[in-house]
Structure 1
C-alpha cells in the first residue's frame, strides 16, 4: 500500500520543500479516550508550538499559494494549536494530535479498511467527490479547481491539503489498519520529521504492543 503513494509534480512545484512521512500501521486495537491518552493531550498542550511558530506559518503560506484563505479554512495544525484543551476523540487520534501540536506538524490519519486504491496528493480538477455530513445528513461536496487534495480511487479523502477529512476514511474506535501522513514543510527538518514519526510509533505501540508498522519518506524536501 504505502509503496505506491505519490505526490503529483504540480504539488511539488508549488512547494518544493514538501515531504511526507507515510506510515502504514496494521493490527491496531483502538478504543475510547482514557486516562493515558488524556495525559498525552495535556502534556502536548503544555508543550505545543505557538500560533506564530514559523512551522505553522509555512502552512499558511502554502495555502495562499493555491488560493486558499488560511484565516478562513485553517491548516490542521493551525486549527489544533488554537484549540486548547485538545479535543478527546479516541486513543489513536489523541496520539497523533498530541504529536501534531508538539512538533507543529500536520498529521492525517486514515482508516485503510475504507480506502480504495492508492493515496495520492494532487491538484484537483474540481469534479472529484468529497463525502461530508451536512445538517446530520450525508452529502457530496467538491474541491475547487487547483486545490491541493489527498484522494484515493473513490474520491477526495482530505481537502485543502490537510484542512478537512472526509467522513468515509476517518479513524474510529473500530479501526484496525491505518495510514498516517506526517506532512513537512521547511523550516521543519527531515530529522525532526523522523523523530515525530518515531514518537507516534511509540505511542501506538503503547495502545497495541504487537502493532506492525511500515514507513517511507515521499519527497526529500
Structure 2
C-alpha cells in the first residue's frame, strides 16, 4: 500500500458547518516505477457527449448543492463556480473541451460524466498532508495572471485546500495553484473526488473506479491507494 494513515487528508471540523453532507474519495498513486500506457482519445469526447445528452440525472441537484455551499463561505458561485460546474458550462456552451494531456483529460472526463469536482495534484510537490480548511487570509497561493506568475492570498473565511507551504486550491475546488499542479503521469500523485449529499453514494464509488481504472491503464504497474473521507 502506498498511502498510510499519516498521509491521509485532514478535514477541518468547520467544513461540516458549511457542507454537512460532504464526502470524498482520496486516491494516492505512485507511478515512479510504472510503465507507459495510453487511453482512448474518445474518453473525453464520450464524457462531453454524455453531458450534452443530459447526463447524469443528478447533475443539476448536485451542482446546486455546491453553489449553496459556496454561498455559505462567502463566495459567488456564478462568478467562481466549483470546478465541475465550470467544466459542464463549457461543454454545454461549446460542445466540448480541448484535450490538455492524458492525465488531465482522464480526470476531466470523470468530472464531466459524474458531475463531480475532481482535483489532481503532484504529490511530490506537497509539503505535509493535504488539509481542507477555512483560510485566515495569510496563506500564499501561487498562480498565473496575464501570463505572469503571481502570488495571491485567499480571503479570510474562504474554504481552501492547503499543505504546510500554503494554499494549493482556492475556493474549495475552483482553481488549483501552479506549485502542485499535475502536468505529467509520473512520480507520486494525489487525486480527490468531492461530493455532497445530492450525489448518489454508489455514483461516487463508480467515479472513483473509473478514475482508478484509467490511471492503471495509463500507468501500468502503478501503486494505488484509495480511501473514503467525510466530515
Deviation string 1:100-155 (CA, Å, 9 cap, x unpaired) is 01111100100011111110100000110000112322211000110000000010
TM superposition outliers: structure 1 runs of 4+ over 3 Å: 28-31, 49-52
Matches within 5 A, 1:53-72: 53-72=60-79
Aligned to 2:173: 162
Q: How far is the alpha carbon of 1:88 from its aligned partner?
A: 1.0
Matches within 5 A, 1:116-135: 116-135=127-146
Q: In structure 2, which of residues 146, 155, 158 is the aligned counterpart of residue 147 of structure 1?
A: 158
Q: In structure 2, which of residues 5, 17, 23 is the aligned counterpart of residue 19 of structure 1?
A: 23
Q: In structure 1, which of residues 80, 90, 108 is the aligned counterpart of residue 119 of structure 2?
A: 108
Deviation string 1:43-62 (CA, Å, 9 cap, x unpaired) is 00111247961111111111
Q: TM (normalized to structure 2)?
A: 0.88
In the alignment, structure 1 residue 44 sits paired with structure 2 residue 51: no
Greater shift in the superposed pair: 154-163 or 126-135: 126-135
In the alignment, structure 1 residue 8 sits paired with structure 2 residue 12: yes
Deviation string 1:136-176 (CA, Å, 9 cap, x unpaired) is 22211000110000000010000000000000111112642
Q: In structure 2, which of residues 210, 217, 221 is the aligned counterpart of residue 199 of structure 1?
A: 210
Unaligned runs of 5+ residues in structure 1 are: none
- Take 1:214 and 1:108, find their aligned partners in 2: how far apart are those partners? 16
In the alignment, structure 1 residue 78 sits paired with structure 2 residue 85: yes
Q: How far is the alpha carbon of 1:38 from its aligned partner?
A: 2.6
Q: TM (normalized to structure 1)?
A: 0.92
- Take 1:184 and 1:170, find their aligned partners in 2: how far apart are those partners? 21
The answer to whether the 8 A contact 1:113-1:175 is kept is no
Unaligned runs of 5+ residues in structure 2 are: none
- Take 1:66 and 1:149, find their aligned partners in 2: how far apart are those partners? 11
- Take 2:147 and 2:4, find their aligned partners in 1: how far apart are those partners? 33
The answer to whether the 8 A contact 2:161-2:170 is kept is yes
The answer to whether the 8 A contact 1:19-1:218 is kept is yes
